[in-house]
Structure 1
Protein backbone atom coordinates (compact mmCIF):
# COMPACT_ATOMS: atom_id res chain seq x y z
CA UNK A 1 0.00 0.00 0.00
CA UNK A 2 1.50 3.31 -1.08
CA UNK A 3 1.81 6.23 1.31
CA UNK A 4 3.08 9.78 1.22
CA UNK A 5 6.85 9.83 0.83
CA UNK A 6 8.66 12.67 2.61
CA UNK A 7 12.23 13.92 2.33
CA UNK A 8 13.95 12.75 5.56
CA UNK A 9 15.34 16.27 6.02
CA UNK A 10 11.81 17.64 6.54
CA UNK A 11 11.13 18.09 10.30
CA UNK A 12 9.69 14.91 11.81
CA UNK A 13 6.47 16.52 13.06
CA UNK A 14 5.74 17.96 9.60
CA UNK A 15 6.59 14.65 7.91
CA UNK A 16 4.18 12.79 10.22
CA UNK A 17 1.48 15.36 9.48
CA UNK A 18 1.95 14.89 5.72
CA UNK A 19 1.74 11.09 6.03
CA UNK A 20 -1.56 11.40 7.90
CA UNK A 21 -3.06 13.97 5.53
CA UNK A 22 -2.38 12.44 2.11
CA UNK A 23 -5.89 13.07 0.67
CA UNK A 24 -5.77 16.75 1.67
CA UNK A 25 -2.30 17.10 0.12
CA UNK A 26 -3.73 15.68 -3.11
CA UNK A 27 -6.46 18.33 -3.06
CA UNK A 28 -3.88 21.06 -2.45
CA UNK A 29 -1.79 19.73 -5.33
CA UNK A 30 -4.90 19.91 -7.54
CA UNK A 31 -5.35 23.61 -6.72
CA UNK A 32 -7.60 23.57 -3.66
CA UNK A 33 -7.17 26.47 -1.22
CA UNK A 34 -8.76 26.89 2.22
CA UNK A 35 -11.26 29.68 2.72
CA UNK A 36 -9.59 32.86 3.98
CA UNK A 37 -9.87 33.31 7.72
CA UNK A 38 -12.29 36.14 8.51
CA UNK A 39 -12.78 38.37 11.51
CA UNK A 40 -15.83 36.30 12.40
CA UNK A 41 -13.44 33.64 13.72
CA UNK A 42 -12.64 36.06 16.56
CA UNK A 43 -16.28 36.60 17.37
CA UNK A 44 -16.79 33.46 19.52
CA UNK A 45 -14.14 34.70 21.95
CA UNK A 46 -15.98 38.00 22.34
CA UNK A 47 -19.28 36.19 22.81
CA UNK A 48 -17.65 33.97 25.41
CA UNK A 49 -16.60 37.00 27.44
CA UNK A 50 -20.12 38.36 27.32
CA UNK A 51 -21.42 34.94 28.32
CA UNK A 52 -19.24 34.95 31.42
CA UNK A 53 -20.62 38.34 32.35
CA UNK A 54 -24.17 37.03 31.96
CA UNK A 55 -23.39 34.07 34.19
CA UNK A 56 -22.37 36.53 36.88
CA UNK A 57 -25.82 38.15 36.66
CA UNK A 58 -27.57 34.76 36.84
CA UNK A 59 -27.87 34.72 40.59
CA UNK A 60 -29.65 38.12 40.64
CA UNK A 61 -32.63 36.84 38.61
CA UNK A 62 -36.04 35.48 39.61
CA UNK A 63 -37.44 32.16 38.30
CA UNK A 64 -38.97 33.60 35.11
CA UNK A 65 -35.80 35.46 34.33
CA UNK A 66 -33.78 32.27 34.92
CA UNK A 67 -35.82 30.36 32.33
CA UNK A 68 -35.25 33.15 29.83
CA UNK A 69 -31.55 33.13 30.70
CA UNK A 70 -31.19 29.37 30.06
CA UNK A 71 -32.82 29.75 26.64
CA UNK A 72 -30.45 32.63 25.88
CA UNK A 73 -27.44 30.48 26.79
CA UNK A 74 -28.67 27.73 24.48
CA UNK A 75 -28.90 30.18 21.57
CA UNK A 76 -25.47 31.51 22.55
CA UNK A 77 -23.94 28.03 22.28
CA UNK A 78 -25.45 27.53 18.82
CA UNK A 79 -23.99 30.83 17.66
CA UNK A 80 -20.51 29.86 18.83
CA UNK A 81 -20.72 26.55 16.96
CA UNK A 82 -21.93 28.22 13.77
CA UNK A 83 -19.40 31.03 13.76
CA UNK A 84 -16.33 28.85 14.28
CA UNK A 85 -15.50 28.63 10.57
CA UNK A 86 -12.05 26.96 10.82
CA UNK A 87 -12.52 23.36 11.86
CA UNK A 88 -9.35 21.49 12.89
CA UNK A 89 -8.62 18.23 11.04
CA UNK A 90 -6.90 16.84 14.10
CA UNK A 91 -5.88 18.13 17.49
CA UNK A 92 -4.30 21.55 17.06
CA UNK A 93 -4.02 21.38 13.24
CA UNK A 94 -6.21 23.25 10.78
CA UNK A 95 -6.52 23.11 7.02
CA UNK A 96 -4.80 26.49 6.87
CA UNK A 97 -1.77 25.13 8.72
CA UNK A 98 -1.51 22.05 6.50
CA UNK A 99 -1.86 24.26 3.41
CA UNK A 100 0.90 26.55 4.68
CA UNK A 101 3.26 23.62 5.39
CA UNK A 102 2.44 21.98 2.04
CA UNK A 103 3.32 25.17 0.18
CA UNK A 104 6.50 25.70 2.20
CA UNK A 105 7.76 22.15 1.61
CA UNK A 106 6.58 21.86 -1.99
CA UNK A 107 8.78 19.34 -3.79
CA UNK A 108 9.86 17.71 -0.53
CA UNK A 109 7.04 15.18 -0.48
CA UNK A 110 5.59 12.76 -3.03
CA UNK A 111 2.03 11.46 -3.26
CA UNK A 112 0.79 8.03 -4.41
CA UNK A 113 -0.42 9.54 -7.69
CA UNK A 114 3.16 10.55 -8.50
CA UNK A 115 4.00 6.91 -9.27
CA UNK A 116 2.73 4.71 -12.07
CA UNK A 117 1.99 1.03 -11.45
CA UNK A 118 5.49 -0.32 -12.06
CA UNK A 119 7.12 2.46 -10.07
CA UNK A 120 4.71 1.85 -7.19
CA UNK A 121 5.70 -1.82 -7.05
CA UNK A 122 9.40 -0.94 -6.98
CA UNK A 123 8.85 1.65 -4.27
CA UNK A 124 6.98 -0.90 -2.14
CA UNK A 125 9.92 -3.30 -2.44
CA UNK A 126 12.39 -0.61 -1.37
CA UNK A 127 10.21 0.44 1.56
CA UNK A 128 9.77 -3.14 2.78
CA UNK A 129 13.53 -3.73 2.67
CA UNK A 130 14.26 -0.55 4.64
CA UNK A 131 11.52 -1.27 7.19
CA UNK A 132 12.83 -4.80 7.72
CA UNK A 133 16.35 -3.58 8.48
CA UNK A 134 15.32 -0.71 10.74
CA UNK A 135 12.91 -2.90 12.75
CA UNK A 136 15.31 -5.84 13.14
CA UNK A 137 16.70 -6.81 16.53
CA UNK A 138 20.25 -7.07 15.21
CA UNK A 139 19.97 -3.41 14.24
CA UNK A 140 18.33 -2.38 17.55
CA UNK A 141 21.02 -4.18 19.59
CA UNK A 142 23.84 -2.44 17.73
CA UNK A 143 25.19 -5.48 15.87
CA UNK A 144 24.79 -3.44 12.71
CA UNK A 145 25.71 0.20 12.20
CA UNK A 146 22.36 1.35 13.57
CA UNK A 147 23.27 5.05 13.50
CA UNK A 148 24.26 5.00 9.82
CA UNK A 149 21.25 2.80 9.04
CA UNK A 150 18.86 5.34 10.58
CA UNK A 151 20.33 8.12 8.42
CA UNK A 152 21.41 6.45 5.20
CA UNK A 153 18.50 4.06 4.60
CA UNK A 154 15.72 6.71 4.73
CA UNK A 155 17.87 8.85 2.44
CA UNK A 156 18.20 5.93 0.00
CA UNK A 157 14.44 5.32 0.15
CA UNK A 158 13.69 8.98 -0.59
CA UNK A 159 16.18 9.08 -3.47
CA UNK A 160 14.60 5.97 -4.99
CA UNK A 161 11.14 7.51 -4.60
CA UNK A 162 12.28 10.78 -6.18
CA UNK A 163 13.80 8.98 -9.18
CA UNK A 164 10.74 6.77 -9.61
CA UNK A 165 8.45 9.82 -9.59
CA UNK A 166 10.51 11.44 -12.37
CA UNK A 167 10.58 8.18 -14.30
CA UNK A 168 6.80 7.81 -13.94
CA UNK A 169 6.19 11.35 -15.21
CA UNK A 170 8.42 10.83 -18.26
CA UNK A 171 6.84 7.47 -19.05
CA UNK A 172 3.37 9.01 -18.86
CA UNK A 173 4.41 11.80 -21.23
CA UNK A 174 6.03 9.28 -23.56
CA UNK A 175 2.90 7.14 -23.69
CA UNK A 176 0.86 10.27 -24.41
CA UNK A 177 3.07 11.15 -27.38
CA UNK A 178 2.78 7.69 -28.89
CA UNK A 179 -0.94 7.30 -28.22
CA UNK A 180 -2.76 6.52 -31.45
CA UNK A 181 0.38 5.41 -33.26
CA UNK A 182 3.28 7.26 -34.84
CA UNK A 183 5.12 7.44 -38.14
CA UNK A 184 8.38 5.49 -38.68
CA UNK A 185 10.31 8.74 -38.48
CA UNK A 186 8.82 9.62 -35.09
CA UNK A 187 9.37 6.08 -33.85
CA UNK A 188 13.03 6.25 -34.86
CA UNK A 189 13.43 9.61 -33.12
CA UNK A 190 11.83 8.29 -29.96
CA UNK A 191 13.85 5.06 -29.81
CA UNK A 192 16.81 6.67 -27.96
CA UNK A 193 14.39 8.16 -25.45
CA UNK A 194 12.86 4.75 -24.82
CA UNK A 195 16.34 3.30 -24.30
CA UNK A 196 17.07 6.11 -21.83
CA UNK A 197 13.89 5.30 -19.90
CA UNK A 198 14.78 1.59 -19.83
CA UNK A 199 18.34 2.28 -18.68
CA UNK A 200 17.12 4.62 -15.95
CA UNK A 201 14.61 2.06 -14.73
CA UNK A 202 17.33 -0.63 -14.68
CA UNK A 203 19.54 1.64 -12.57
CA UNK A 204 16.73 2.21 -10.03
CA UNK A 205 15.98 -1.53 -9.98
CA UNK A 206 19.65 -2.14 -9.17
CA UNK A 207 19.37 0.22 -6.20
CA UNK A 208 16.27 -1.57 -4.95
CA UNK A 209 17.90 -4.97 -5.36
CA UNK A 210 20.93 -3.76 -3.36
CA UNK A 211 18.57 -2.77 -0.54
CA UNK A 212 16.88 -6.16 -0.75
CA UNK A 213 20.24 -7.98 -0.58
CA UNK A 214 21.15 -6.01 2.51
CA UNK A 215 17.77 -6.83 4.07
CA UNK A 216 18.35 -10.51 3.19
CA UNK A 217 21.68 -10.55 5.06
CA UNK A 218 19.98 -8.89 8.02
CA UNK A 219 17.26 -11.57 7.93
CA UNK A 220 19.94 -14.29 8.04
CA UNK A 221 21.53 -12.60 11.03
CA UNK A 222 18.13 -12.42 12.72
CA UNK A 223 17.59 -16.16 12.25
CA UNK A 224 21.08 -16.98 13.52
CA UNK A 225 20.52 -14.75 16.56
CA UNK A 226 17.23 -16.43 17.43
CA UNK A 227 18.73 -19.91 16.99
CA UNK A 228 21.76 -19.01 19.12
CA UNK A 229 19.52 -17.71 21.90
CA UNK A 230 17.45 -20.90 21.85
CA UNK A 231 20.56 -23.10 21.99
CA UNK A 232 21.94 -21.00 24.85
CA UNK A 233 18.67 -21.49 26.76
CA UNK A 234 18.96 -25.25 26.25
CA UNK A 235 22.58 -25.25 27.30
CA UNK A 236 21.67 -23.41 30.50
CA UNK A 237 19.39 -26.34 31.39
CA UNK A 238 22.11 -28.95 30.85
CA UNK A 239 23.08 -29.35 34.53
CA UNK A 240 19.53 -30.40 35.43
CA UNK A 241 19.45 -33.00 32.65
CA UNK A 242 22.91 -34.26 33.57
CA UNK A 243 21.87 -34.61 37.21
CA UNK A 244 18.78 -36.57 36.22
CA UNK A 245 20.80 -38.85 33.93
CA UNK A 246 23.40 -39.48 36.64
CA UNK A 247 20.72 -40.38 39.17
CA UNK A 248 19.04 -42.78 36.78
CA UNK A 249 22.30 -44.32 35.58
CA UNK A 250 21.61 -43.40 31.96
CA UNK A 251 24.39 -40.83 31.62
CA UNK A 252 26.84 -43.11 29.80
CA UNK A 253 24.83 -43.01 26.57
CA UNK A 254 22.96 -39.73 26.77
CA UNK A 255 25.57 -37.25 28.00
CA UNK A 256 27.63 -37.24 24.77
CA UNK A 257 24.53 -36.41 22.75
CA UNK A 258 23.50 -33.59 25.07
CA UNK A 259 27.04 -32.31 25.06
CA UNK A 260 26.68 -31.60 21.37
CA UNK A 261 24.56 -28.62 22.36
CA UNK A 262 27.77 -26.77 23.15
CA UNK A 263 29.09 -27.56 19.70
CA UNK A 264 25.81 -26.42 18.15
CA UNK A 265 25.98 -23.16 20.10
CA UNK A 266 29.51 -22.59 18.86
CA UNK A 267 28.51 -23.19 15.26
CA UNK A 268 25.52 -20.85 15.57
CA UNK A 269 27.68 -18.17 17.13
CA UNK A 270 30.04 -18.44 14.18
CA UNK A 271 27.07 -18.32 11.77
CA UNK A 272 25.81 -15.19 13.50
CA UNK A 273 29.21 -13.53 13.15
CA UNK A 274 29.33 -14.49 9.48
CA UNK A 275 25.80 -13.16 8.89
CA UNK A 276 26.60 -9.83 10.55
CA UNK A 277 29.87 -9.61 8.60
CA UNK A 278 27.97 -10.25 5.35
CA UNK A 279 25.44 -7.58 6.29
CA UNK A 280 28.25 -5.09 6.87
CA UNK A 281 29.71 -5.94 3.48
CA UNK A 282 26.33 -5.43 1.83
CA UNK A 283 25.95 -2.12 3.66
CA UNK A 284 29.32 -0.88 2.39
CA UNK A 285 28.34 -1.86 -1.15
CA UNK A 286 25.00 -0.07 -0.73
CA UNK A 287 26.79 3.04 0.52
CA UNK A 288 29.01 3.28 -2.57
CA UNK A 289 28.07 6.06 -5.02
CA UNK A 290 26.50 4.72 -8.24
CA UNK A 291 28.86 4.40 -11.20
CA UNK A 292 28.55 7.02 -13.92
Structure 2
Protein backbone atom coordinates (compact mmCIF):
# COMPACT_ATOMS: atom_id res chain seq x y z
CA UNK A 1 0.00 0.00 0.00
CA UNK A 2 1.44 3.35 -1.08
CA UNK A 3 2.24 6.03 1.50
CA UNK A 4 -0.16 8.97 1.40
CA UNK A 5 -1.92 11.51 3.67
CA UNK A 6 -4.61 8.85 4.12
CA UNK A 7 -2.16 6.19 5.31
CA UNK A 8 -0.63 8.77 7.68
CA UNK A 9 -4.10 9.42 9.11
CA UNK A 10 -4.59 5.69 9.56
CA UNK A 11 -1.31 5.42 11.48
CA UNK A 12 -2.44 8.23 13.80
CA UNK A 13 -5.82 6.54 14.31
CA UNK A 14 -4.28 3.16 15.20
CA UNK A 15 -1.95 4.86 17.69
CA UNK A 16 -5.01 6.55 19.21
CA UNK A 17 -6.74 3.17 19.61
CA UNK A 18 -3.65 1.72 21.27
CA UNK A 19 -2.60 4.60 23.53
CA UNK A 20 -5.80 6.54 24.27
CA UNK A 21 -8.50 3.89 24.07
CA UNK A 22 -6.20 1.08 25.24
CA UNK A 23 -7.73 -1.50 22.93
CA UNK A 24 -6.14 -4.94 22.65
CA UNK A 25 -3.57 -5.68 19.97
CA UNK A 26 -5.96 -8.07 18.20
CA UNK A 27 -8.68 -5.41 18.05
CA UNK A 28 -6.28 -2.75 16.73
CA UNK A 29 -4.97 -5.19 14.13
CA UNK A 30 -8.54 -5.92 13.06
CA UNK A 31 -9.26 -2.19 12.60
CA UNK A 32 -6.01 -1.81 10.68
CA UNK A 33 -6.76 -4.71 8.35
CA UNK A 34 -10.27 -3.47 7.49
CA UNK A 35 -9.17 0.13 6.96
CA UNK A 36 -6.16 -0.79 4.82
CA UNK A 37 -8.52 -2.78 2.62
CA UNK A 38 -10.62 0.38 2.23
CA UNK A 39 -7.60 2.59 1.53
CA UNK A 40 -6.35 0.19 -1.15
CA UNK A 41 -9.79 0.40 -2.77
CA UNK A 42 -9.59 4.22 -2.71
CA UNK A 43 -6.09 4.24 -4.18
CA UNK A 44 -7.41 2.26 -7.12
CA UNK A 45 -9.90 5.13 -7.60
CA UNK A 46 -7.08 7.67 -7.46
CA UNK A 47 -8.01 8.93 -3.96
CA UNK A 48 -5.20 9.38 -1.45
CA UNK A 49 -6.55 12.10 0.86
CA UNK A 50 -9.38 11.82 3.39
CA UNK A 51 -10.97 15.13 2.35
CA UNK A 52 -11.92 13.59 -1.02
CA UNK A 53 -13.92 10.76 0.54
CA UNK A 54 -17.71 11.05 0.35
CA UNK A 55 -20.62 8.70 1.02
CA UNK A 56 -20.41 7.74 -2.66
CA UNK A 57 -16.98 6.15 -2.16
CA UNK A 58 -18.07 4.39 1.03
CA UNK A 59 -21.12 2.88 -0.68
CA UNK A 60 -19.01 1.88 -3.69
CA UNK A 61 -16.57 0.14 -1.35
CA UNK A 62 -19.34 -1.82 0.39
CA UNK A 63 -20.84 -2.71 -3.00
CA UNK A 64 -17.44 -4.00 -4.12
CA UNK A 65 -17.16 -6.08 -0.93
CA UNK A 66 -20.60 -7.55 -1.59
CA UNK A 67 -19.60 -8.37 -5.18
CA UNK A 68 -16.61 -10.28 -3.80
CA UNK A 69 -19.13 -12.36 -1.79
CA UNK A 70 -17.82 -11.07 1.52
CA UNK A 71 -20.34 -11.90 4.24
CA UNK A 72 -22.68 -9.26 5.62
CA UNK A 73 -21.20 -9.70 9.11
CA UNK A 74 -17.71 -8.84 7.81
CA UNK A 75 -19.06 -5.85 5.88
CA UNK A 76 -20.87 -4.63 8.99
CA UNK A 77 -17.59 -4.84 10.90
CA UNK A 78 -15.81 -2.89 8.14
CA UNK A 79 -18.43 -0.16 8.14
CA UNK A 80 -18.12 0.06 11.93
CA UNK A 81 -14.34 0.48 11.54
CA UNK A 82 -14.89 3.19 8.91
CA UNK A 83 -17.28 5.07 11.18
CA UNK A 84 -14.77 5.05 14.04
CA UNK A 85 -12.00 6.20 11.69
CA UNK A 86 -14.08 9.03 10.24
CA UNK A 87 -15.27 10.14 13.69
CA UNK A 88 -11.61 10.35 14.71
CA UNK A 89 -10.81 12.49 11.63
CA UNK A 90 -13.77 14.77 12.43
CA UNK A 91 -12.51 15.16 15.99
CA UNK A 92 -9.03 15.95 14.67
CA UNK A 93 -10.47 18.62 12.34
CA UNK A 94 -9.44 16.76 9.18
CA UNK A 95 -13.04 16.27 8.06
CA UNK A 96 -16.08 18.49 8.69
CA UNK A 97 -18.50 15.52 8.73
CA UNK A 98 -18.27 11.74 8.60
CA UNK A 99 -18.99 10.38 5.08
CA UNK A 100 -20.33 7.19 6.69
CA UNK A 101 -22.75 8.88 9.09
CA UNK A 102 -25.89 8.24 6.99
CA UNK A 103 -24.99 4.74 5.80
CA UNK A 104 -26.84 1.87 7.48
CA UNK A 105 -25.14 -1.30 8.63
CA UNK A 106 -25.80 -4.38 6.46
CA UNK A 107 -28.52 -6.53 8.00
CA UNK A 108 -27.13 -9.66 9.62
CA UNK A 109 -28.74 -12.47 11.51
CA UNK A 110 -28.11 -12.75 15.23
CA UNK A 111 -26.85 -16.31 15.52
CA UNK A 112 -27.48 -17.61 19.00
CA UNK A 113 -24.36 -19.04 20.62
CA UNK A 114 -24.09 -22.81 20.98
CA UNK A 115 -24.44 -24.14 24.53
CA UNK A 116 -24.40 -27.41 26.45
CA UNK A 117 -27.26 -28.78 28.47
CA UNK A 118 -26.83 -29.21 32.22
CA UNK A 119 -26.54 -32.97 31.70
CA UNK A 120 -23.76 -32.48 29.14
CA UNK A 121 -21.94 -30.13 31.50
CA UNK A 122 -22.16 -32.76 34.23
CA UNK A 123 -20.66 -35.35 31.87
CA UNK A 124 -17.81 -33.05 30.91
CA UNK A 125 -17.01 -32.03 34.48
CA UNK A 126 -17.26 -35.54 35.94
CA UNK A 127 -14.49 -36.48 38.38
CA UNK A 128 -11.63 -38.50 36.87
CA UNK A 129 -11.32 -42.09 38.02
CA UNK A 130 -8.38 -43.23 40.11
CA UNK A 131 -6.80 -44.74 36.99
CA UNK A 132 -7.15 -41.45 35.10
CA UNK A 133 -5.64 -39.37 37.91
CA UNK A 134 -2.40 -37.77 36.68
CA UNK A 135 -0.97 -34.21 36.60
CA UNK A 136 -2.31 -33.41 33.12
CA UNK A 137 -5.79 -34.72 33.93
CA UNK A 138 -5.85 -32.72 37.17
CA UNK A 139 -4.87 -29.58 35.25
CA UNK A 140 -7.40 -30.09 32.47
CA UNK A 141 -10.17 -30.84 34.96
CA UNK A 142 -9.34 -27.69 36.97
CA UNK A 143 -9.30 -25.58 33.80
CA UNK A 144 -12.70 -26.86 32.67
CA UNK A 145 -14.26 -26.30 36.08
CA UNK A 146 -12.88 -22.75 36.30
CA UNK A 147 -14.00 -21.96 32.75
CA UNK A 148 -17.58 -23.06 33.41
CA UNK A 149 -17.64 -21.50 36.89
CA UNK A 150 -16.56 -18.05 35.67
CA UNK A 151 -17.27 -17.77 31.93
CA UNK A 152 -13.88 -16.12 31.36
CA UNK A 153 -12.36 -16.04 27.88
CA UNK A 154 -9.93 -18.79 26.87
CA UNK A 155 -7.19 -16.17 26.40
CA UNK A 156 -7.79 -15.05 29.99
CA UNK A 157 -7.80 -18.64 31.26
CA UNK A 158 -4.53 -19.81 29.74
CA UNK A 159 -2.65 -16.65 30.77
CA UNK A 160 -4.08 -16.42 34.30
CA UNK A 161 -1.27 -15.69 36.80
CA UNK A 162 -1.24 -17.99 39.81
CA UNK A 163 -1.31 -14.97 42.15
CA UNK A 164 -4.58 -13.78 40.59
CA UNK A 165 -6.50 -16.87 41.71
CA UNK A 166 -7.58 -16.67 45.35
CA UNK A 167 -8.83 -19.95 46.82
CA UNK A 168 -9.56 -18.26 50.14
CA UNK A 169 -12.00 -15.72 48.66
CA UNK A 170 -13.10 -17.82 45.69
CA UNK A 171 -12.27 -15.14 43.11
CA UNK A 172 -10.07 -14.71 40.07
CA UNK A 173 -8.71 -11.31 39.08
CA UNK A 174 -8.96 -10.89 35.33
CA UNK A 175 -7.15 -8.28 33.24
CA UNK A 176 -9.34 -8.35 30.17
CA UNK A 177 -9.72 -6.46 26.90
CA UNK A 178 -8.39 -2.93 26.99
CA UNK A 179 -6.53 -3.77 30.24
CA UNK A 180 -9.80 -3.52 32.16
CA UNK A 181 -9.72 -5.35 35.49
CA UNK A 182 -12.60 -7.35 36.92
CA UNK A 183 -13.07 -9.79 39.81
CA UNK A 184 -15.03 -12.94 38.99
CA UNK A 185 -16.20 -15.43 41.66
CA UNK A 186 -16.02 -19.20 41.27
CA UNK A 187 -17.86 -21.95 43.12
CA UNK A 188 -16.59 -24.33 45.80
CA UNK A 189 -16.32 -27.29 43.42
CA UNK A 190 -14.04 -25.35 41.08
CA UNK A 191 -12.02 -24.34 44.15
CA UNK A 192 -11.55 -28.01 45.09
CA UNK A 193 -10.39 -28.89 41.57
CA UNK A 194 -7.92 -26.02 41.51
CA UNK A 195 -6.64 -26.94 44.98
CA UNK A 196 -6.10 -30.58 43.92
CA UNK A 197 -4.22 -29.40 40.85
CA UNK A 198 -2.06 -26.99 42.86
CA UNK A 199 -1.17 -29.69 45.37
CA UNK A 200 -0.68 -32.70 43.11
CA UNK A 201 -0.59 -31.60 39.48
CA UNK A 202 1.23 -28.32 39.05
CA UNK A 203 4.36 -29.21 41.09
CA UNK A 204 4.76 -32.42 39.07
CA UNK A 205 4.42 -30.54 35.77
CA UNK A 206 6.90 -27.85 36.82
CA UNK A 207 9.45 -30.30 38.20
CA UNK A 208 11.04 -27.70 40.45
CA UNK A 209 10.87 -24.89 37.89
CA UNK A 210 9.07 -21.63 38.54
CA UNK A 211 6.20 -20.12 36.54
CA UNK A 212 3.90 -17.17 37.07
CA UNK A 213 1.06 -18.91 35.24
CA UNK A 214 -1.55 -20.94 37.08
CA UNK A 215 -2.02 -23.55 34.35
CA UNK A 216 1.27 -24.83 32.96
CA UNK A 217 2.40 -27.37 30.40
CA UNK A 218 4.89 -30.17 31.00
CA UNK A 219 7.54 -27.71 29.77
CA UNK A 220 6.65 -25.23 32.49
CA UNK A 221 5.14 -22.56 30.25
CA UNK A 222 1.62 -21.30 29.70
CA UNK A 223 -0.69 -23.31 27.48
CA UNK A 224 -1.72 -21.90 24.09
CA UNK A 225 -5.35 -21.24 23.23
CA UNK A 226 -5.11 -23.68 20.33
CA UNK A 227 -3.91 -26.50 22.56
CA UNK A 228 -6.75 -25.95 25.04
CA UNK A 229 -9.26 -26.00 22.18
CA UNK A 230 -7.86 -29.42 21.25
CA UNK A 231 -8.00 -30.67 24.84
CA UNK A 232 -11.59 -29.60 25.45
CA UNK A 233 -12.68 -31.20 22.19
CA UNK A 234 -10.93 -34.47 23.10
CA UNK A 235 -12.52 -34.49 26.56
CA UNK A 236 -16.00 -33.86 25.12
CA UNK A 237 -15.67 -36.73 22.65
CA UNK A 238 -14.26 -38.94 25.38
CA UNK A 239 -17.39 -38.58 27.51
CA UNK A 240 -19.79 -39.14 24.63
CA UNK A 241 -20.82 -35.57 23.74
CA UNK A 242 -21.51 -35.43 20.00
CA UNK A 243 -21.62 -31.62 19.79
CA UNK A 244 -18.58 -29.61 18.81
CA UNK A 245 -17.38 -28.24 22.14
CA UNK A 246 -14.94 -25.35 22.43
CA UNK A 247 -13.97 -22.87 25.16
CA UNK A 248 -16.60 -20.52 23.71
CA UNK A 249 -19.21 -23.22 24.20
CA UNK A 250 -18.37 -23.31 27.90
CA UNK A 251 -18.48 -19.49 28.13
CA UNK A 252 -21.86 -19.40 26.40
CA UNK A 253 -23.15 -22.23 28.59
CA UNK A 254 -22.08 -20.38 31.71
CA UNK A 255 -23.91 -17.24 30.59
CA UNK A 256 -27.14 -18.92 29.49
CA UNK A 257 -27.29 -21.15 32.59
CA UNK A 258 -26.69 -18.16 34.86
CA UNK A 259 -29.54 -16.22 33.25
CA UNK A 260 -31.83 -19.25 33.34
CA UNK A 261 -31.12 -19.47 37.07
CA UNK A 262 -32.15 -15.83 37.60
CA UNK A 263 -28.81 -13.99 37.46
CA UNK A 264 -28.88 -10.20 37.06
CA UNK A 265 -27.98 -9.09 33.54
CA UNK A 266 -25.68 -6.30 34.75
CA UNK A 267 -23.82 -8.68 37.05
CA UNK A 268 -23.40 -11.12 34.18
CA UNK A 269 -22.09 -8.32 31.98
CA UNK A 270 -19.42 -7.57 34.57
CA UNK A 271 -18.41 -11.23 34.95
CA UNK A 272 -18.15 -11.74 31.19
CA UNK A 273 -16.20 -8.51 30.73
CA UNK A 274 -18.53 -7.08 28.08
CA UNK A 275 -18.08 -3.36 27.45
CA UNK A 276 -21.65 -3.07 26.08
CA UNK A 277 -24.62 -4.75 27.76
CA UNK A 278 -26.12 -5.31 24.31
CA UNK A 279 -23.50 -8.04 23.84
CA UNK A 280 -24.72 -9.73 27.02
CA UNK A 281 -28.38 -9.44 26.04
CA UNK A 282 -28.04 -12.03 23.27
CA UNK A 283 -28.17 -14.68 26.00
CA UNK A 284 -31.64 -13.51 27.03
CA UNK A 285 -32.94 -14.79 23.68
CA UNK A 286 -31.67 -18.35 24.12
CA UNK A 287 -34.44 -19.61 26.42
CA UNK A 288 -37.04 -17.81 24.31
CA UNK A 289 -35.68 -19.57 21.24
CA UNK A 290 -35.91 -22.97 22.97
CA UNK A 291 -39.47 -22.25 24.12
CA UNK A 292 -40.48 -21.42 20.57
CA UNK A 293 -38.86 -24.60 19.23
CA UNK A 294 -40.70 -26.65 21.86
CA UNK A 295 -43.99 -24.92 21.06
CA UNK A 296 -43.62 -25.65 17.36
CA UNK A 297 -42.75 -29.28 18.07
CA UNK A 298 -45.58 -30.11 20.46
CA UNK A 299 -48.44 -27.73 19.60
CA UNK A 300 -51.08 -29.51 17.49
CA UNK A 301 -51.08 -26.63 15.01
CA UNK A 302 -47.37 -25.86 15.31
Question: Could you state the TM-score of these two structures normalised by the residue count of structure 1?
Answer: 0.21
- Judging by fraction of residues, say which structure has more helix: 1
Question: Could you state the TM-score of these two structures normalised by the residue count of structure 2?
Answer: 0.20
Rg comparison, structure with higher value: 1
**Greater relative contact order, per chain length (Cα 8 Å cut-off, separation 6+):** 1
